[in-house]
Amino acid sequence: MILNPTANNQSFEKQFAQFGINFTYGFDAQKLDPDTIAGLKRAATDAFQIIVNSLEELDCRNSNGWMVCLGVGTYGDQFLKRAYVAYSGLGANVDEEATCPRAFVDDQGNPLNGQNKYILRFENGQFPPVEAFWSVTNVRP
């Protein structure tokens, strides 16, 4: 991994250098002592739990049972936000390109289940406010 460090990243670059992570030349775990490797493995496990539990990093609002997260796709130095988006969906378009509401429960508050049948209904004149197209995608968790 090669990065172009900005002023915001320079403090991270110094911290990572302690563990053999160089933004220009990459990372070689074989150069580290066993205690450092064990610490990095523990840190990776802890980091994964932090990422999994960091939904609050997103600017999400709930509307009629749908979760809409704004401000994804561009992150600046919001590394935890970027990591959560990568964990939960591999990536995201910027708001100007796409908004992707998500639903996890039905109108009764029960978790969505593939064994049930659902109807997505819009009242007359209440279609999604778009200037292009919209679609519905079913994604397995």
Which pLDDT score, from 0 to 100, does residue 6 have? 62
CA angle 49, 51, 53 (to 5 degrees): 70
Name the helix (H) or strand (E) containing 84. Answer: helix 79-89
Q: pLDDT digit string (tens) for 89-132? A: 767 888 888 878 888 888 888 998 889 998 888 888 888 777 77
Which of the four pLDDT bands, split at 50, 70 and 90, describes residue 2? very low
pLDDT for residue 1 is more than 50: no
Which pLDDT score, from 0 to 100, does residue 44 have? 92
Q: How far apart are CA 29 and CA 8, in angstroms?
A: 26
Which pLDDT score, from 0 to 100, does residue 43 have? 92
How many CA atoms, within 13 angstroms, populate the side-chain half-sphere of residue 123? 2
Q: pLDDT digit string (tens) for 13-23? A: 888 888 788 87
